[in-house]
Chain A
């Protein structure tokens, strides 16, 4: 028989407001290197505004088709600076993709797949209405679906901010 190491009432005491005061209170280090990627020009607008706020480690990018094949994409910093997909993903632990239209469907697919292969957690937000077939961003939703761990098909700009804050990026 196992030795009883706790008093029977330990939960009752430990869960009080009184005891909550003793929760260790140290600053929480940002746990994620977040990369936030706009998949189309509308999304780039959203991220330009979002990037103005204070973020711990988040970096913001625009993704565009490379022109050659549908599978090729190029990444730029939101302020225009150069970036390479492989480098940025190498140091990322979560990638948040934002779309506003179907223009970025190819990018969504390529980026999602690249993250998937590297085991990087992904979230996709479609700002506008992508919930129903035939709406502005339904192809973007379909392209994000296979690889985004979480998909918000009818998000708005505040969702982008709320998600990034909740994730502490």
Chain B
């Protein structure tokens, strides 16, 4: 269980909240680059950390993320006309550039300086990989750009998707470091999912359903190691890195692409689950890319033209009791992503953590909450820069390795969990 006041602190991310300020120290995904596919594309509405925004790409290819509402009388800039060098409010014609600066107020005289003094709140928006990243904090403290490996590989090597999750970010993120649910909830996928099946490690997973856990600090967050028996004298370790505040990676399987997530608060009752796959050594195959588009692996099949999964709370996630009975889909819900979202959303928009009964196997979650709490309070009270802001902290990988029983996993696998450009991922 968790104290109610700590639960409140960790789950509220609006402006001025301690956790909201913590999120505002980091670069984070604002949207996918595909949402603004070309210069002058229609603007999109976005809500991030409980702030309503509009993102657009102007006629010169510059990206902007600005206050959704026009400074004049508050009409939504989503209706805006994306014209030459700026977005024009269709109500009375005020026009803004990508920095939120008002560049034209048609009702004013031609030589008026009125527009110069009108500026909408704006945040930087930068394309790295498939993602447009933003930083919503104090401009004076803006850190260097993120250096997560998935976003830095060549375009043919990676694929990124996102889905809307109707729950608070924290319960979604907690699923990302909760290695003990995989053997149950996702057991069907180990045998059948085209992006998982066939790895040697899967057998260790299925043979030993009671893993041991080790939770070790890292510079940017944690490494959670889950170990199972392998051949005589050795253990099979699955190592999940977490980089604060909400980047996690799933341990790999065989030569399949490696994957992970970002969990980004929309508001306190909704979040974006970003899911990526990449292979550091080779382009994704046609079949792999198609499987990702079709919603296999960690991705979801979304309603066309939206980022809402086809299986969602309005249709009971297309629950199939027959597949549940046979175990093909352990929970009766299809696909890793929706297996997670269905249960995390079922907890309610913000789960009441005072009612939990945690077990030692939940130690990764316990430790992560503590680190988030400390970072948020440290920032609020002393202005301490939290872990994970420094791009050096982003250079982590998940790993799936067989190690001698005597070795400490971080001693033996330090290289495996570190990004080494040009080197394959460590995976069995």
Q: Which residues of A contact B (CB under 8 A)?
A: 2, 6, 8-12, 14-17, 19-20, 23, 28, 31, 94, 121-123, 131-133, 138, 141-142, 145-146, 148-154, 158-159, 162-163, 165-168
Contact = CB atoms under 8 A, between A and B. Distances in A.
B402 to A, nearest CB: 16
Contacts of B316: 6, 8-11
Nearest to A19: B348
A11 B370 CA distance: 31
Kindly name the residue among B2, B216, B350 whose own CB sees the greatest number of chain A CB atoms within 10 A: B216
B315 A8 contact: yes
B411 A167 contact: no
Interface in B338-384: 342, 345-350, 352, 355-363, 366-367, 369-370
Given A2-B321, A159-B370, A132 B349 contact: no
Contacts of B347: 15
Nearest to B319: A11
Contact of A12 (B314, B363, B370, B410): B314
B321 A166 contact: no
Given A158-B370, A159-B367, A141 B408 contact: yes
A150 B361 contact: yes
A167 B359 contact: yes
A112 B355 CA distance: 29
Contacts of B342: 11
Given A2-B321, A142-B406, A149-B360, A15 B215 contact: no
A11 B317 contact: yes
Contacts of B360: 94, 121-123, 149-150, 163, 167
B212 interface: yes
- Scoring A28, A31, A152 by chain B CB atoms within 10 A of each residue's CB, the highest score goes to A152
A23 B359 CA distance: 22
B210 to A, nearest CB: 8
Nearest to B364: A150
Contact of A166 (B166, B313, B362, B408): B362
Chain B interface size range? 35 or more
B352 A20 contact: yes
Contacts of A138: 408
A151 B355 CA distance: 24
A54 to B, nearest CB: 13
Contact of B216 (A2, A123, A154, A162): A154
Given A23-B355, A165-B1, A168-B357, A151 B317 contact: no
A15 B348 contact: yes
Nearest to A26: B355
B213 interface: yes
Nearest to B316: A11
Contact of B357 (A8, A9, A14, A31): A31
A90 to B, nearest CB: 20
Interface centre among B313, B356, B363, B411 (most CB of A within 10 A): B363
B217 interface: yes
A150 B359 CA distance: 10
B214 interface: yes
27 contacts: A8-B316, A9-B316, A11-B345, A11-B346, A12-B314, A15-B166, A15-B347, A16-B348, A17-B269, A20-B348, A122-B360, A131-B217, A132-B410, A132-B411, A145-B214, A149-B360, A150-B363, A151-B214, A152-B215, A153-B214, A162-B370, A163-B366, A165-B1, A165-B3, A166-B356, A168-B1, A168-B357
Contacts of A166: 1-2, 356, 358, 362, 366
Contact of A28 (B2, B321, B357): B357
A11 B355 CA distance: 21
Contacts of A131: 216-217, 408, 410-411
B348 A17 contact: yes
- Chain B CB within 10 A, most for which of A10, A122, A154, A159: A154
B343 to A, nearest CB: 10
Contacts of B363: 123, 150, 152, 163
Interface string B111-138: 0000000000000000000000000000
B213 A150 contact: yes
Contacts of B348: 15-17, 19-20, 23
Interface string B314-348: 11110001100000000000000000001001111
A30 B406 CA distance: 36
Contacts of B359: 121, 167
B370 A17 contact: no
Given A8-B315, A133-B408, A162-B370, A16 B349 contact: yes
A11 B408 CA distance: 44
B345 A15 contact: yes
Contacts of B369: 162
A151 B212 contact: yes
Contacts of B314: 8-9, 11-12
Nearest to A152: B215
